[in-house]
Amino acid sequence: MRWALVKVSLAVTTMVVLAFAVPLGLVIREMARDRAFSNAERQAAAVAPALSITTDRDQLERVVASAGSGSGMAVHIPASGKTAAVDLGRRRAADGDIATVRRLGRASTTEVPGGSTLLQPVALSTGEIAVVEVYVPDSEVTNGLATAWAVLAGVGIALIVGSVAVADRLGVRMVRPAQRLVEGAHELGEGKLGARVPEEGPTELRLAAVAFNAMADQVVQLLANERELAADLSHRLRTPLTVLRLNAASLGDGPAAEQTRAAVAQLEGEVDTIIRTAREAKPQTVAAGPGAGCDAAEVVRERMAFWSALAEDEGRKVRVAGVDRPVRIPVARADLAAALDALLGNVFRHTPEGTAFAVDVHNGEDAVIVLVSDAGPGIADPEAAMARGHGSGSAGSTGLGLDIVRRLAESTGGDVRIGSSVLGGTEVRLWIQLDGRAPVRRGHRGVVRRRRPGRLVSTFNRSRSLP
């Protein structure tokens, strides 16, 4: 592309230079010729006054000499009466040409060996017509012409070279961004997801680079979302696996029971492997669209009905509050169910059998709080527990459960905070914003909000003193 642009520029500039240089060279030649014959006319005009006064040979020779023409001027005076014809200087023009000028009374030029002559008629006092002949050699006609043509050719060559240089620079400016765009596309096609191209060059290529970088970012985000979705879906398998593990534990002794427990343990290990393989994905911001949402109270009642059966088998006391009336939140039903399952699964997985737990829902003016608390040993390092992929440090923990809860809260502009519960163990507070503000990123740890409605704060404080 670069060399094609240079060739086109060279061809176009050459044609333009020729189109202007050839006519201009001819004009310069004509100007040089006109200049030479104008000088000859001035010389002839300098002799004309003397011829109108006298025809004396000696006087005319002095006039011709003073005109400065040297041997290049001749004067032809015809015979008149008793006066013989007078010829001064060297005759170069033919007799016929001189006779024609006398007869017509007009100046003319004629070609002679080595140049041209100007024949200028001059009226004498006797009424006869004298002819002044001025010789114009070819060297005078072409005087300065070679220099002018050389300058003209130099200017033309300079224009061609300059246009080629400019075209080359323009070609480089266009080709380099295009080459970088091609290289970036090849790298992205080879799986190098970090490939990006500089957003520079002509407007079209710059816009193409912007679009390419946006596409690459979108590809990276889509892949990250796919990995994250795989991790989240795999994590949701932990709930039925927990049920299987608890049921397998109640099977007693025997080969079949041992095989069942071993299969459940192997399945849990495979699920953990899938989750840990996909844990590098970026957290995804999920925004609820218009009309999206669910009844948090209904979802809590449904999930607690599921987990209550397991709690009864393990001798756990369960308390649910705040679900006696509808509580609308801008969160998809499946996402809230997954978050609750993650929190309740952690209670069953990381606390001893017989540990009590509670779920409280508090509905405020601009937010809904879901509290999941237990009477277990608590979490020693809440920040590490919130870190995606780190977990609590215990066996079977991937750290994705709390990350699912955090992303759910942040998608509404809320947050998640881990603290100590009134039951003596861990309390996880899920804050879901209702006013439709844009989601905010808060890292891996929930941050206490600076401003809360009084009604919601009082409700939240009361929940911490529940028995």
Q: CA 395 to CA 349: how far, in whole Å?
A: 10
Chain-centroid distance, C-alpha 175: 14
Going by their DSSP bridges, the two strands 357-363 and 318-321 should be labelled as parallel
What band does 186 get if pLDDT is binned at 50, 70 and 90? confident
Using the predicted structure, report yes or no on whether residue 372 has a pLDDT greater than 90.
Answer: yes
pTM of this prediction exceeds 0.75 = no
Q: How confident is the model at residue 286 (pLDDT cuts 50, 70, 90)?
A: very low
Residue 445 pLDDT level (bands cut at 50, 70, 90): very low
Amino acid in the structure at residue 107: A
Q: Considering only residues 18 and 236, tell me which one the structure prediction assigns the higher pLDDT.
A: 18
pLDDT at 82: 66
Q: What is the mean pLDDT of residues 331-335?
A: 85
Q: Which residues of 179-215 are buried (b: 16+ CB within 10 A; e: fewer)?
A: ebbeebeebbeeeeeebbbeeebeeebeebbeebbee
d(CA 110, CA 136): 10
Residue 325 φ/ψ region, left for φ over 0, alpha for ψ in the -120 to 50 degree band, beta for the rest: beta
Percent of the chain with pLDDT over 70: 80
Q: Where residue 81 falls among pLDDT bands split at 50, 70, 90?
A: low
pLDDT at 71: 61
Could you tell me which residue, 115 or 66, shows the higher pLDDT?
Answer: 115
* 406 has a pLDDT exceeding 70: yes
CA dist 449 and 57 (Å) reads 125
pLDDT, position 69: 53
Q: What is the pLDDT of residue 354?
A: 92
* 456: confidence class by pLDDT, cuts 50, 70, 90: very low
pLDDT at residue 466 tops 50? no
DSSP state for residue 70 in the 8-state scheme: G
pLDDT > 90? residue 431: yes
CA distances from 73 to 33, 92, 168, 383 (A): 18, 10, 58, 115
Compute the distance between CA of residue 458 and CA of residue 463 in angstroms, rounded to an integer: 9
Half-sphere exposure of 266 (CA within 13 A, CB side): 6
> Angle formed by the axes of helices 203-236 and 238-249, to 10°?
20
Of residues 119 and 385, more confidence is placed in 119
Q: Is the pLDDT of residue 340 over 70?
A: yes
pLDDT at 291 over 70: no
> How many CA within 13 A on the CB side of residue 237?
17
pLDDT tens per residue across span 214-225: 888 888 888 777
Dist CA 321 CA 328 (whole Å): 16
Per the prediction, the chain carries an average pLDDT of 77
Mean pLDDT of 325-330: 91
pLDDT, tens digit (0-9, with 9 covering 90-100), for 133-145: 888 888 877 787 7
pLDDT > 90? residue 371: yes
Mind listing the pLDDT tens digit for each residue in 35-80?
A: 888 888 888 887 778 777 777 777 777 777 766 555 678 888 887 7
- What pLDDT score was predicted for residue 404? 81
Confidence of residue 116 (pLDDT cuts 50, 70, 90): confident
At 438, the pLDDT band (50, 70, 90 cuts) reads very low
Helix, strand and coil in the chain, % to nearest 5: 55, 15, 30
pLDDT per position as a tens digit, 244-269? 777 777 777 777 777 777 777 777 77
pLDDT at 301: 93
